[in-house]
Amino acid sequence: MPAELVVEVAARVRETARIMATSQHTDELIHWAEESKVQGPVSPDLPPWRVLIVDDDQDVHQATEFALKHQLIQGRALHFLNAHSAAEAQHLLRQEPDIAVVLLDVVMESEHAGLELVRTIREELGLEAVRIVLRTGQPGYAPEMEAIRDYDINDYKTKTELTRNRLYSVLTTAIRSYRQIQALNSQRAGLSQLAESSNRLLQQDTLEAFFQQTVTEAASLFASPLQAALCARASPPVNGEPPRLLAATPGLLAATDGSFSTLPGNVREPLQACLSQRSHQQKTDTLALYVRGPESAPLGLLVQAEQALTRDQLNLLHLFAAQVATCFENLTLLKRLRRSAFTDPLLDIPNRSSLIVSINEKARQDGLEGWVLALLDIDQFAVVNHVLGYRTGDQLLHAVARRLQQQFPAPALVARLGSDTFGLLGPKEHISLPTLQRCFRNAFNVNEQAHRLSASFGLVRLDGVAGQGEEALRSAHIALKRVQERDRGQGLYYHETMASEIRSRVSLVEELRKAMADNRLCLTYQPQLSLISGRPIGVEALIRWPGEHGDPIPPSVFIPLAEKAGLIIELGEWVLREACHAQRELAAAGHGDLRMGVNVSVKQFEHPDFIAMLDRVLSDTGIDPAHLELEITESVAALDPERLTQLLTNLKARGLSLAIDDFGTGFSSLSYLHRLPIDRLKVDRSFIQQLGQDGDRGEIARVVISLGKTLQLVLIAEGVERANQAEFLRELGCDEVQGFYFARPMKRAHLQHWLQEHPLGVSH
């Protein structure tokens, strides 16, 4: 700046200061007084506005302070800070917080020092809220309009313009705008703080942690921390019962023995009022928030500040309370969801997902060395359900779960995986085949009735299992299935060969599919004879698969596979059709009165198309249904009793007869069988085998046969291999026999031949 100008500016500034300092015009005074009136009440608690005067002329400092001394803006006093250069101002601005307004001289160390400072304030120091009023000695030094806009400058005035009055109003406008910006900023900060706090609240796993976090969040909502306490009314409310203190900030908590009644009165009373009146209670420095909890469990949240709470703070606290309510509700919902996702609803014990998670967690935390996973499946439970009813079935499951939990307490885990399947996880010292079997030694009591149950077990040693809960479960399943196929009531540990066997079974299914397509399956027929007349009275059709490479594959191997693969439907229809054709052929050859027994798998039986299929075959082959007998096993009892009765009645209506195959091995409920339209019981081979051996007097066979007699059914014994067995059976009153002793299963042509040769049966 040229020297003359400097002199001139300095002179003008002094003049301005003088005018401002001495301005005593009446109109100005009136105006002044009016402005003061609208300031509202003085808030002695609130800090003064901080105003920074930046000017290289000391007179301007003095003049400004003098002019504004004792003035209040929005009820708050003014406090001045002074800087005599842009550099000093910058230093101050870095140190001092909450400066509301900078009254800034444009020209100082340099022509642009003021504007440079503005840029620094906005860009470098990032101070957005502070308001800036530029003052210049003369209009010639007006900054560009862009600068005013770009740097968010509130006002630009020449010093001469700034009379005391004008200065006051300029400052008031600036402070109002500063306050608005501050409020917006704090609201914005408050809202993002709320969002973050809600995140943290929802992460709490337990209610206790949630309560504690609520208090922590409330206390740290503002720069100056609050005291906070959270309590709940006794639910349901009991007269005279004080609310429960759930959590409090350390300062408050220290004053109590942890109970609500020992809270200081100025905390306790608003909380009590808030809970009983179900509304927020507000005092200058204290706010008791009513938080509507889920399932009518209200909370009272009290916050207490050191100073009066501002309107913004109150607003934010109200928002916070609403948010706590939402989080509380969400948390209980989440917990319930989490619970239902991991709990079996009937037995209220962990479910399959929970078991898998536990296996994985245990593997991650301290490894599964020496641990075992066991699957337990109750034998014939579907039948139990049908015979005893679902209610008793459910109660039995409860009883089983209880016993398992008693026998295998923590660290073991008992879970329910499916209807009657349980999973157990624990150290091998606890969970082993003998300890599991011991659980089923004693009967289970339901409604003062003892029910004996047996179960099959599949176990897997978890050593080396790397957190693959699913995989472990699959292995245990394989072992369990193996037990169920071979000897129910027992248990097996999983071994890798089982998996490879499964793979080979898969390829066997493929081969079966091919054999069916290539028509390589055939039927054999085994004669059945009357024990009274000795004559052949029927045959049983038995399927044969010669096998592609050598040995035939027994039906006990491929029928279960066909059932699982769904092939049994097609295969079963083929067997029925083939057997009916054979019956027609026998009739044509003069053996028309022979009954044709056909095995029907449960899978076929429960297929919705079964009756239609049967009708189709009957009409296609034109046989007399009176010469057809369907053999079904006791496992059909697992079907819905009403549906089963209807199905059997439908079948009977066609004139065919029905036999229960393998009688005595399944779950035989006399009363149940009695209600079904059955013609014949086929006493299982296992009862006959013993007969006449090692001094066996046929006690068991006798019981089984007399059981059938009580039901007034015809009895046929399977698997008769020796003459003395046949003799015994005759004595026991058995009606019919079938077995290698009389005849082996044979091809159609061979059967014709055999029948020719044995018109009167096999003498013995």
Dihedral angle of Cα 546, 552, 556, 561, to the nearest 10 degrees: -70
Q: State the nearest-atom distance from the C-beta of 612 to Ca ion, in Å.
A: 23
Distance CA 427, CA 462 (A): 10
Q: State the nearest-atom distance from the C-beta of 598 to Ca ion, in Å.
A: 9
Residue 555 binds ligand C2E, judged by CB under 6 A: yes
Q: State the nearest-atom distance from the C-beta of 498 to ligand C2E, in Å.
A: 23
**Residues of span 177-196 touching Ca ion by CB under 5 A:** none
**Residues of span 568-587 touching ligand C2E by CB under 6 A:** 572, 575
Q: State the nearest-atom distance from the C-beta of 576 to ligand C2E, in Å.
A: 9
Distance CA 111, CA 123 (A): 20
Report the partner that residue 331 touches, choosing among Ca ion, ligand C2E, none (CB closer than 5 to 8 A by kind).
Answer: none
Q: Which of 57, 379, 631, 736 binds Ca ion (CB under 5 A)?
A: 631
Q: State the nearest-atom distance from the C-beta of 370 to ligand C2E, in Å.
A: 42
Residue 597 pairs in a beta bridge with 540, 629
Distance CA 516, CA 100 (A): 93
Report the partner that residue 379 touches, choosing among ligand C2E, Ca ion, none (CB closer than 5 to 8 A by kind).
Answer: none
Question: Which residues contact residue 454 at a Cβ distance below 8 angstroms, ignoring those fewer than 6 apart?
Answer: 378, 379, 440, 488, 489
Residue 560 binds ligand C2E, judged by CB under 6 A: no
Distance CA 631, CA 661 (A): 6
Distance CA 577, CA 595 (A): 15
Q: State the nearest-atom distance from the C-beta of 442 to ligand C2E, in Å.
A: 33
Report the partner that residue 739 touches, choosing among ligand C2E, Ca ion, none (CB closer than 5 to 8 A by kind).
Answer: ligand C2E
Residue 349 vs 562, nearer CB to ligand C2E: 562
The pairing of strands 78-83 and 99-105 is unpaired
Distance CA 128, CA 126 (A): 6
For residue 337, how many other CB atoms are within 10 A of its CB? Answer: 11
Residue 105 binds ligand C2E, judged by CB under 6 A: no
Question: Which residues contact residue 20 at a Cβ distance below 8 angstroms, ignoring those fewer than 6 apart?
Answer: 63, 64, 66, 67, 162, 163, 164, 167
Q: Tell me which stretch binds ligand C2E (CB under 6 A): 43-51, 315-323, 493-501, 552-560.
A: 552-560
Q: Tell me which stretch binds ligand C2E (CB under 6 A): 90-98, 225-233, 459-467, 535-543.
A: 535-543
Q: Which of 358, 395, 432, 599 binds Ca ion (CB under 5 A)?
A: 599
Residue 304 vs 526, nearer CB to ligand C2E: 526
Q: Which of 57, 662, 735, 736 binds Ca ion (CB under 5 A)?
A: 662
- Residue 162, Cα to own-chain centre: how many angstroms? 70
CB 740 within 8 A of CB 748: no
Report the partner that residue 556 touches, choosing among ligand C2E, Ca ion, none (CB closer than 5 to 8 A by kind).
Answer: ligand C2E
Residue 413 vs 529, nearer CB to Ca ion: 529
Report the partner that residue 575 touches, choosing among Ca ion, ligand C2E, none (CB closer than 5 to 8 A by kind).
Answer: ligand C2E
Question: Which residues contact residue 432 at a Cβ distance below 8 angstroms, ignoring those fewer than 6 apart?
Answer: 372, 459
Query: Does the CA dihedral 632-637-638-640 come out positive or negative?
Result: positive
3-state secondary structure 142-197: CCCHHHHHHCCCCEEEECCCCCHHHHHHHHHHHHHHHHHHHHHHHHHHHHHHHHHH
Residue 634 binds Ca ion, judged by CB under 5 A: no
Question: Which residues contact residue 179 at a Cβ distance below 8 angstroms, ignoring those fewer than 6 apart?
Answer: 74, 100
Q: Tell me which stretch binds ligand C2E (CB under 6 A): 264-272, 299-307, 342-350, 548-556.
A: 548-556
Q: Which of 420, 661, 735, 736 binds Ca ion (CB under 5 A)?
A: 661
Residue 740 binds ligand C2E, judged by CB under 6 A: yes
Residue 601 binds ligand C2E, judged by CB under 6 A: yes
Residue 275 vs 576, nearer CB to ligand C2E: 576
For residue 346, how many other CB atoms are within 10 A of its CB? Answer: 13
How many residues at the interface with ligand C2E, by CB under 6 A?
Answer: 24
Tokens representing 95 are 């140190």
Residue 527 binds ligand C2E, judged by CB under 6 A: no
Residue 559 binds ligand C2E, judged by CB under 6 A: yes
Q: Which of 38, 43, 39, 80 is nearest to 61 (CA)?
A: 80
Q: Tell me which stretch binds Ca ion (CB under 5 A): 21-29, 557-565, 654-662, 694-702.
A: 654-662
Distance CA 549, CA 124 (A): 89
Query: Does the CA dihedral 402-404-407-413 come out positive or negative?
Result: negative
Residue 162 vs 571, nearer CB to ligand C2E: 571
Residue 657 binds ligand C2E, judged by CB under 6 A: no
The pairing of strands 522-530 and 286-291 is unpaired
Q: Which of 82, 249, 313, 526 binds ligand C2E (CB under 6 A)?
A: 526
Residue 226 vs 542, nearer CB to ligand C2E: 542
Residue 719 binds ligand C2E, judged by CB under 6 A: yes
Residue 105 binds Ca ion, judged by CB under 5 A: no
Question: Which residues contact residue 353 at a Cβ distance below 8 angstroms, ignoring those fewer than 6 apart?
Answer: 341, 342
Residue 335 vs 685, nearer CB to ligand C2E: 685
**Residues of span 661-700 touching ligand C2E by CB under 6 A:** 661-662, 685
Q: Which helix (H) or strand (E) holds 246?
A: strand 244-248
Residue 242 vs 745, nearer CB to ligand C2E: 745
- Residue 60, Cα to own-chain centre: how many angstroms? 72
Residue 243 binds ligand C2E, judged by CB under 6 A: no
Residue 573 binds Ca ion, judged by CB under 5 A: no
Q: State the nearest-atom distance from the C-beta of 685 to ligand C2E, in Å.
A: 6
Residue 13 binds ligand C2E, judged by CB under 6 A: no
Surface-to-core class of residue 557, CB atoms within 10 Å of its CB (0-12 exposed, 13-18 middle, 19+ buried): middle
Q: State the nearest-atom distance from the C-beta of 624 to ligand C2E, in Å.
A: 21
Query: Does the CA dihedral 144-145-148-152 come out positive or negative?
Result: negative
The pairing of strands 444-446 and 286-291 is unpaired
Query: Which residues make up the interface to ligand C2E (CB under 6 A)?
Result: 526, 541-543, 554-556, 559, 572, 575, 599, 601, 631, 661-662, 685, 718-721, 738-740, 745
Query: Which residues make up the interface to Ca ion (CB under 5 A)?
Result: 599, 631, 661-662, 718
